Copies of this chain bind each other. A is one copy, B any other.
């Protein structure tokens, strides 16, 4: 198996972890606490600015990593060279295979702040080891899938092509970023490796260099039309969009029509006043008898620029989005965290909670389940995070709970017609509990959930805040632990 296959399968990533995870593991090991079983939650506290939902993504990458998680000789040699770890602990790592149980929200589902999107139950050593990789996979993919969903909402159903690889954070930022962008709604990517690795559809036009490499723009366009008559999108701004690019493109499309080809003219604008140029270009093409041209725009677009171009009546009906999508430019990190919530003691689970000076950073204790409440039209109304051992009654009507940040305060969700269970088993006994899901299925799930989500959560500015409550039992427990820190 060649290099990239190993990469896609997330092999050789055992050392993709923070050094303190390994020192903590070795510490717990030497303290004789290696068999203590714990439960950790992955969640984020805040959505990116202006954003009312997140598209959960990255779980498939994490499961690939888990299935292939082994320390090889070169890993152990490196760790030994640091002079910090003793041979017994290195032998433990050599024999390590994942024994964790993982439950998670299905990839492509919508998630909201404070919701445990992934829950890992494992020995404290293993749970610690997995932290960094889990966060790395989930944070980035969820960030990009969410950004892509916003861009696609702004494009109002018109195709969005992701082409950010050249500005992505390394090859993996590009490849798994393309995967996440597709899950979030993009129709295709320019990234061929993402096409090979994950089956994301690939697309593209041509670059300025194609035009510049021919003696004239017209010759360059003719050559491109000759080579790619079926996918002939001409980039018209190398020299002068209106004086040269569009007239030359029209001439080539006319020549194709004269040769009897059924041609839909297609151009790409990559600089200048996109609103004005698109209207002018549209008028020129209509004047030449091409009523329905495809006009693709690119050049540092994001959801706000797309919405603004639409507001101006720009004649654009295809969108190429690169830098701002693949880096989530206006907020390039999702601050997801992974927090200890419970420790097994005998046959019991003891809930744990982090307090700290920032009340915001207080965690929700205990092992959990999560319920999503739907109305009679199957639109989500709100979610309830509950203790696993005390699930609230799956009921219609009104569900009572407590506020996440002020768990002494009661709250409720009304008009519930159906309740769905969000956390499902995905990994046990060293392997996935179901086959990997292809990206088109993940994309379809996200599309369906976004379609069902009421408009007020999908606004590009000031979205409504989706309701996430703690169950009565969880709220009471959290309230008690906050007021009695010795219980935390």
Q: Which of A176, A204, A327, A357 has the most CB of B within 10 A?
A: A357
Q: Which residues of B contact A204 (CB under 8 A)?
A: 18-21, 23
Q: 8 Å CB contacts to B: which residues of A96-142?
A: 124, 128, 131-133, 135-137, 139-140
When A240-B357, A357-B237 are in contact, do A327 and B332 touch as well, CB less than 8 Å? yes
- Judged by a CB distance under 8 angstroms, whether A254 is at the interface is no
Q: Which residue of B lies closest to A9 (CB)?
A: B3
Q: Which residue of B lies closest to A170 (CB)?
A: B172
Whether A140 lies near B165 (C-beta < 8 A) is no
A82 to B15, CA, bound (A): 36
* Apart from A24-B210, A167-B334: 4 A-B pairs, beta carbons within 8 A: A167-B335, A172-B172, A212-B488, A241-B356
Query: Could you jot down 17 A-B contacts, CB within 8 Å?
Result: A3-B11, A20-B205, A23-B231, A30-B227, A33-B213, A82-B202, A124-B213, A131-B207, A169-B173, A208-B339, A208-B354, A212-B353, A238-B355, A240-B356, A272-B356, A272-B358, A273-B357
Total interface residues in chain A, CB < 8 Å: 114
A interface residues with partner B (beta carbon < 8 Å): 2-7, 9, 11-13, 15-24, 26-28, 30-31, 33, 36, 38, 40, 72, 74-75, 78-79, 82, 84, 124, 128, 131-133, 135-137, 139-140, 163, 165-177, 190-193, 195-196, 202-210, 212-213, 223-224, 226-228, 231, 237-241, 271-273, 277, 323, 327-329, 332-336, 339-340, 343, 352-358, 361, 485, 488
The answer to whether A209 touches B13, judged by C-beta atoms less than 8 angstroms apart, is no
In the assembled complex, the Cα of A162 lies from the Cα of B13 at a distance in Å of 19
